[in-house]
Homo-oligomer: A and B are copies of this chain.
Amino acid sequence: MAETEPKDSPKDSIEAADSHEPDIYGEDGAVRSSFLARVGAAIADRDVLFLRAHVGHLHPSELGHILQVLQPEQRQALVQLLGEEFNFEALTEVDEAIRLEIVDALPNEQIAEGVQDLDSDDAVYILEDMDEEDQEEILAKLPFTERIRLRRALDYPEESAGRRMQTEFVAVPPFWTIGQTIDYMREDHDLPDRFSQVFVIDPTFRLLGAIDLDRILRSGRAVKVEDVMQETRHAIPATMDQEEAAQIFEQYDLLSAAVVDENERLVGVLTIDDVVDVIKAEAEEDILRLGGVGDEELSDSVFSISRSRVPWLMVNLLTAFLSASVIGLFEATIQEMVALAVLMPIVASMGGNAATQTMTVTVRAIATRDIDIYNASRVIRREAIIGLVNGIIFATVVGLVAGALFHNPQLGGIIAAAMVINMLAAALGGILIPLLLHRVGADPAIASSVFVTTVTDVTGFMAFLGLATWWFGVHH
């Protein structure tokens, strides 16, 4: 593996792709169009030599990027042309729709061959979305131990630590010396591709502790494993939700952690790279939910996306009719003073925005556990004050402008009063609704927006039109 080519190898030519410094990405971080065009031409020409030399040896994530940007027919052709050289790990780097499209077109035989070379966590990632029948057929073609391992992981629930774990790990007994441990690693060729900890287990596979590799390297050969191992404080139960496991990794800065079954027996290892994916995915999920979309991907079909967005729009429609019915209560007042119709969206819109600000902060604080029983009441009070302060500021601005525009200072006063009321309602709705949803076990990210804007729309129209009806009714 000695690689000591000069650093100044040609960076811009496509030829660089099979030196060990490929540069398939342009300045903007996207795959270079020149490279992509060359790959496309090679696929069209069935130029297997070029593809194996320049595409087959890319890092799996790079190959994944290429697959992602190719046309569907090109993807199939590329996988076929690469044949045994195709690294199935690349499939863990593409959207689910693309992954399924590729594996559906492949014979199960070839998939079984391909996943055998992978770490078990990657193999599971590819298998878990396939239909039961294909899954079984592929598993049946695998060697016994491999099959048992994958099936064990697949038996754990989706999004659990057991599903994400890698079943390959290094484990030694506590009475070994560091020297024995190092010798074992030098001799055994069935070690995982990469690892950062050695686990210590008893004869029944019960987890006793772990030693980080840097600690092994720092210890003398004669030192006993049990004297340098650290008792495991953060063993992850296989059934634990992946998000919770990710939080433990994050809090304790772990690189890997033992996954244990219900009898505290070591069954696998969760590694930081999988956890990083989980952290990204969970943040992503929150963003999409706040925006009222499910976990759609760019490669999903128009039909499935359209359908997945309808429920949210439907809920919004119902709340929009609710707001409309509030306006309907004041038809007579509006008819007499059309300025109200002109101004009323301002009150609602400012409330909606202020509420969205508060809600966003609250949803995040709940997700990161920054908000808890110790500070909830303080935070609620604080948001109320902020709502009131900003309400007064904007009430003044809007009141003066509206009063001047319509040459009606009373109208200015009424919209100002309505603004203060609605901004306060916005602050309280923005914090209380997510907290309440969280309390009853719902995901605050998914449902807060719709409730919160309903509150501000209804309160806004009601306060503004109600005050106007009362005031001008009395002073007519």
Residues of A at the B interface (CB closer than 8 Å) are 1-5, 7, 20-21, 28-31, 33, 36, 59, 61-62, 68-69, 182, 185-186, 191, 194-196, 208-209, 212-214, 216-220, 226-231, 233, 247, 249-253, 255, 264, 272-273, 275-277, 279-280, 283-284, 286-288, 290-293, 296-298, 302, 305-306, 309-310, 312-313, 316-317, 319-321, 323-324, 327-328, 331, 334-335, 338-339, 341-346, 348-350, 353-354, 356-357, 359-361, 363-365, 368-375, 379, 382, 385-386, 389-390, 393-394, 397-398, 401, 453, 457, 461
**In the assembled complex, how far is the CB of residue A35 from the closest CB belonging to chain B, in whole angstroms?**
12
- With A69-B375, A186-B218 already in contact, the answer to whether A386 and B306 are too (CB < 8 A) is yes
Contact B328 A342, beta carbon cutoff 8 Å: yes
Roughly how many angstroms separate A361 CA and B68 CA in the complex, as a whole number?
17
Contact A386 B349, beta carbon cutoff 8 Å: no
Most chain B CB within 10 A, of A345, A371, A374, A389, is at A345
Contact A2 B361, beta carbon cutoff 8 Å: no
Contact A317 B346, beta carbon cutoff 8 Å: yes
Contact A356 B291, beta carbon cutoff 8 Å: yes
Roughly how many angstroms separate A284 CA and B280 CA in the complex, as a whole number?
10
Contact B385 A302, beta carbon cutoff 8 Å: yes
Contact A186 B250, beta carbon cutoff 8 Å: no
Q: Which residues of B contact A36 (CB under 8 A)?
A: 374
**In the assembled complex, how far is the CB of residue A79 from the closest CB belonging to chain B, in whole angstroms?**
19
Roughly how many angstroms separate A390 CA and B305 CA in the complex, as a whole number?
10
Roughly how many angstroms separate A467 CA and B40 CA in the complex, as a whole number?
49
Q: Which residues of B contact A363 (CB under 8 A)?
A: 287
Roughly how many angstroms separate A142 CA and B390 CA in the complex, as a whole number?
46
Roughly how many angstroms separate A208 CA and B2 CA in the complex, as a whole number?
11
Contact B276 A272, beta carbon cutoff 8 Å: yes
Q: Which residues of B contact A364 (CB under 8 A)?
A: 284, 287-288
Contact B379 A4, beta carbon cutoff 8 Å: no
Q: Which residues of B contact A283 (CB under 8 A)?
A: 279-280, 283-284, 287
Q: Which residues of B contact A196 (CB under 8 A)?
A: 196, 213-214, 255
Contact B220 A186, beta carbon cutoff 8 Å: yes
- With A214-B213, A291-B361, A342-B324 already in contact, the answer to whether A20 and B61 are too (CB < 8 A) is no
**In the assembled complex, how far is the CB of residue A272 from the closest CB belonging to chain B, in whole angstroms?**
5
Q: Which residues of B contact A371 (CB under 8 A)?
A: 298
**In the assembled complex, how far is the CB of residue A411 from the closest CB belonging to chain B, in whole angstroms?**
13
Contact A457 B252, beta carbon cutoff 8 Å: no
Q: Which residues of B contact A457 (CB under 8 A)?
A: 345, 349
**In the assembled complex, how far is the CB of residue A463 from the closest CB belonging to chain B, in whole angstroms?**
15
Q: Which residues of B contact A386 (CB under 8 A)?
A: 302, 305-306, 309
Contact B323 A349, beta carbon cutoff 8 Å: yes
Q: Which of B185, B214, B293 contacts A194 (CB 8 A)?
A: B214
**In the assembled complex, how far is the CB of residue A342 from the closest CB belonging to chain B, in whole angstroms?**
5
Q: List 11 A-B contacts (CB under 8 A).
A: A1-B229, A20-B231, A29-B369, A196-B213, A279-B283, A287-B364, A290-B291, A306-B386, A321-B401, A338-B341, A341-B344
Roughly how many angstroms separate A280 CA and B243 CA in the complex, as a whole number?
13
Q: Which chain B residue has the least Cβ–Cβ distance from A2? A: B227
Roughly how many angstroms separate A186 CA and B217 CA in the complex, as a whole number?
7
Roughly how many angstroms separate A317 CA and B214 CA in the complex, as a whole number?
58
- With A195-B214, A214-B213, A283-B287 already in contact, the answer to whether A292 and B323 are too (CB < 8 A) is no
**In the assembled complex, how far is the CB of residue A19 from the closest CB belonging to chain B, in whole angstroms?**
10
**In the assembled complex, how far is the CB of residue A370 from the closest CB belonging to chain B, in whole angstroms?**
5
Q: Which chain B residue has the least Cβ–Cβ distance from A465? A: B341
Roughly how many angstroms separate A345 CA and B391 CA in the complex, as a whole number?
22
Q: Which chain B residue has the least Cβ–Cβ distance from A359? A: B291
Roughly how many angstroms separate A226 CA and B297 CA in the complex, as a whole number?
44
Q: Which chain B residue has the least Cβ–Cβ distance from A389? A: B306
